[in-house]
Structure 1
Amino acid sequence: MDAVSNRFRAAIKSKKFIVTAEVMPPKGANPQHMLEMADGLKDWVHAVNVTDGSRAVLRMSSLACSALLRQAGIEPICQMTGRDRNAIALQADLMGAHALGVRNVLALTGDPLKAGDHPKAKPVHELDSIRLLRLIRKLNEGTDYNEKPMNDGALDIFPGAAVDPQSTSWSGLQSRFEKKLTSGAQFFQSQLISDFDKLEKFMDQVAVGCDRPILAGIFLLKSAKNAAFINRCVPGVDIPQHLIDRLAAAKEPLHEGMKIAAEQVQAARQLCQGVHMMAVRREDLIPQILEMAGVEPQTQRQVASTSSAVR
């Protein structure tokens, strides 16, 4: 496995503070903007997530975009949902991902179709995120969904899962987290975090001792209007009123949003092993946010590590 396929996994194994970020696939034939955004991130993050029909809105295939990122020398995390594919299609895509060198997969159930731009489309949902993790484990062991041997070789997929430390159902959160752990999740990326007391409680009471990195979701709020929209339209998210008021009072709301995100990165560093950065349509600002938070570029860390090894 080459360096482009291994940076993320190696960083997790060495217990580094992990930074990932998210890019949005294009709606159409031209991936240039996505590639430009990802290129600006590659020196700052261990891997770049590509969404798979996020909010049930039509976009280019996450797998195709992940392959394009890899060709550009950027390690991808391919998000894959069970909403739109049955077990045959999921296995086919996972085998295709492996053949293309895309090894990191975030297993998701998928957002409800009624929230998106094709509300009359028919969902599949044969496999939810937990069953998808179990499927990946079988493929890695060399057997298919029906436990029949794969004659042309086992896969080597590095699977992750989503987690929501702000869930209103504490028992449900605990149960699903434990099931994802036992089903083979090697890392967790959280939903947008706005309540860091709940994240701390989750880390102390649920994730403690799991030996898997939890990456706190950090979202760039661009304005008070943007924060209100997220509260209204994104399930399970509750941006506190004091942050909305802070954005509303700011002379430069976007810059204030960057400051808030940087403060949240600093808070997350005290609680968990990484952050997952989200800045829809302004992914170019993520390096600045990380710099404001005191996070060094990955290239600098690698140079420092090499120099230390030489000494």
Structure 2
Amino acid sequence: MTDRFRQAVLAKEFLVTAEVCPPKGGNPSHMLKMAATLKGRVHAVNITDGSRAVLRMSSLAASTILLQQGIEPICQVACRDRNAIGLQADLMGANALGIRNILALTGDPVKAGDHKEARGVFELESVRLLRAIAKLNQGFDLNEKPLTDEPTDLFAGAAVDPQLKSWSGLQRRFERKLEAGAQFFQSQLITDFDRLDKFMQKVAVESDKPILAGIFLLKSAKNANFINRCVPGVQIPQDIIDRLAKASDPLEEGMKIAAEQVKLARELCQGVHMMAVRREDLIAPILDLAGIEPLSVVSKS
């Protein structure tokens, strides 16, 4: 069960993943309730690691809880909060717990979050973290010392932002992550699908690794404007904001927009990464609107 996502990647299936936030506290019941709605609809569920530098339960602990409930996690690992010893220790621990999928991230800056006086570590960043995972899989630590109790078997992915302003910077970073061992890529929120198309044709074309386009559920015009103000590198187009503002039911309109974007992404790349903050229960209905069948149906065809 824990290798369903890896098998789907290797089989070049159309991939669907979704993001769920760990709890802000000791009770995982809401996270589990949301994640349960994704069973049979997504190949794996991402658990964020201090996203936006906001304190939440450890992604490793939350991923373990999901795994115990029969839900395959993608454990996000950010470099902001731990040094090389801590990161490698967590990766070995994840492997021992049966967590195989890792998304290697640099991490958002501390000043973006709710503990502005905390100290960021950033001893590694995402490319060096990918290299560390590759070494652990080969049976060595970052110092080239052998692991005496067997290598890990981790399936590492990375983030990509096709809407990055610097085209050369985007290409260079993508190639470095590929070289470091990334097996899949999940994108940031996509609003410019022409740009995604260009990225697929000009940058990702030489790679056989899947790109999953980030699809975000916008709940209202206010929500869209907040994202434009507060999320760097993202610009929700005015026509989408106008659609949400004019809709009698903005949430329903947001679901329709997300479904339309899933359809667009399906024509361009190998998967979608669904984001619906604290309304992950709406992801399955969005997939229905987009004509994405449950995995159990797909697997029988």
Q: Do structure 1's residue 106 and structure 2's residue 81 form an aligned pair?
A: no
> Which of 192, 197, 201 does residue 198 from structure 2 map onto?
201
Separation of aligned partners in 2, 1:236 and 1:111 = 13
The 5 A counterparts of 1:227-238 are 227-238=224-235
Q: Shift of the alpha carbon at 1:235?
A: 1.0
CA shift, 1:300, in A, is 1.6
The 5-angstrom pairing of residues 1-311 of structure 1 reads: 3=1, 5-302=2-299, 304-305=300-301
Where do 5+ consecutive residues of structure 2 fail to align?
Answer: none
CA distance in 2, matches of 1:94, 1:171: 31
- Give 1:301 deviation, angstroms: 1.6
* C-alpha distance in structure 1 between counterparts of 2:151 and 2:196, whole Å: 36
How much has 1:226 moved relative to structure 2?
0.1
Q: How many aligned residue pairs are there?
A: 301
Q: Distance in 1 between matches of 2:258 and 2:206?
A: 27
2:204 is paired with a residue of what secondary structure? coil
Amino acid at match of 1:238: Q
How far the C-alpha of 1:209 sits from its partner, in A, is 2.4
Residue ranges of structure 1 left out of the alignment (5+ in a row): 306-311
Separation in 2, partners of 1:132, 1:235? 23
Q: Deviations over 1:67-126 (max 9, x none)?
A: 011000000000000010000000000000000000000000001111110111100000
Distance in 1 (CA, whole Å) between partners of 2:206 and 2:199 is 12
After the TM superposition, which parts of structure 1 deviate over 4 Å for at least 4 consecutive aligned residues?
none
Q: How far apart are the structure 2 equivalents of 1:131 and 1:169?
A: 21
Distance in 1 between the 2:135 and 2:98 partners?
19
Specify the code of the residue in structure 1 equivalent to 2:253.
Answer: E
Q: Distance in 2 between matches of 1:208 and 1:7?
A: 25
> 3-state SS of the aligned residue for 2:165?
coil
Q: For 1:244, what is the secondary structure of its paired residue?
A: helix
Distance 2:100 2:3 in 1: 8
Deviations 1:107-149 (A, max 9, x none): 0000111111011110000000000000000000000010000
What secondary structure sits across from 1:275 in the alignment?
strand
The amino acid that maps onto 1:64 is: A
Residue 39 of structure 1: CA displacement? 0.8
> In structure 2, what is the Cα distance between the partners aligned to 1:96 and 1:21?
23
Superposed CA deviations along residues 19-71 of structure 1, whole A, max 9, x for unmatched, are 00000100001001101111110110000000000011000000000001100
RMSD: 0.5
- TM (norm. structure 1) is 0.96
Looking at structure 2, the residues matched to 119 and 170 of structure 1 have their Cα atoms a distance apart, in angstroms, of 32
3-state secondary structure, aligned to 2:103: strand
Percent identical among aligned pairs is 71
Structure-2 separation of matches of 1:113 and 1:227: 24
Paired with 1:272 and 1:211, the residues of 2 have a C-alpha distance of 11
Tell me which amino acid in the other structure corresponds to 1:45: V
Residue 185 of structure 1 aligns with an amino acid whose one-letter code is A
TM-score normalised per structure 2: 0.99
Q: Which secondary structure state, in structure 2, belongs to the residue aligned with residue 41 of structure 1?
A: coil
